[in-house]
Amino acid sequence: MKELICIVCPKGCHLKVDEENGYAVTGNSCPRGAVYGKKELVNPTRVLTSTVKVTGGTLKRVSVKTDGDIPKSQLFPAMEALENVEMKAPVSIGDVVLENFLGLGVNLVATKTVPLREE
């Protein structure tokens, strides 16, 4: 039996997950908690948020996220992969920065609109 705090929403339910019984979850107050409890033990995943360089815009960095969760073990390789990514303004919220990011089956998308800088 493994005890976890659910991170699906700000409530933070205290979950108990029974590894020997098909990862049965108790202590959750919604179905999403049951999904999280099992996944956290079998294959923990997170959404990655960070920034990449943008040129020609009103800002120097544009914030980005993976549009789905990725394995926890891939967070640092993903951060490394962002280092050389460069976008050109204008950028709109939802623009795909990288498709099928690192082959993980998720896209890296912009989360901020960056208009062109007026000279």
Partner 1 sequence: MSGTERQTKYDVIVVGGGPAGLAAALEAKETGAEKVLILERNHELGGILNQCIHNGFGLHHFKEELTGPEYAGRFISRLPGSGIEVMADTMVLEITPDKTVHAMNSRDGYMQLTASAIVLTMGCRERTRGAIAIPGDRPAGIFTAGAAQLYVNVEGYMVGRRVLILGSGDIGLIMARRMTLEGAKVLGCVELMPYSNGLNRNIVQCLNDYNIPLYLSHTITNIQGDKRVEKVTVSKVDENRRPIPGTEMEFECDTVLLSVGLIPENELSRQAGIRMDRRTNGPEVYENMETSIPGVFASGNVVHVHDLVDFVTAESQRAGKAAALFALHGETPPGEEILVENGACVNYTVPQKIRPENVGKFVEIFFRVNFVYRDVVIRVTSGEEVLASYKREHMAPGEMEKIVLPKALLEKARDGKIRVSVEKEAQAE
- When asked if residue 113 is in the footprint of partner 1 (CB under 8 A), the reply is yes
Q: How far is CA 111 from CA 6, 87, 96, in A?
A: 25, 13, 10
Q: What is the total count of residues that contact partner 1 (CB under 8 A)?
A: 29
Indicate which single residue of 7, 30, 42, 96 sits in contact with partner 1 (rule: CB under 8 A): 7
- Residues with Cβ within 8 Å of 106's Cβ and at least 6 positions away in sequence, in order, are 66, 67, 68, 69, 70, 100
Indicate which single residue of 38, 50, 89, 102 sits in contact with partner 1 (rule: CB under 8 A): 50
Indicate which single residue of 26, 43, 55, 58 sits in contact with partner 1 (rule: CB under 8 A): 58
Which pair of tokens denotes residue 5? Answer: 């705090």
Nearest distance in Å: CB 80, partner 1:
9
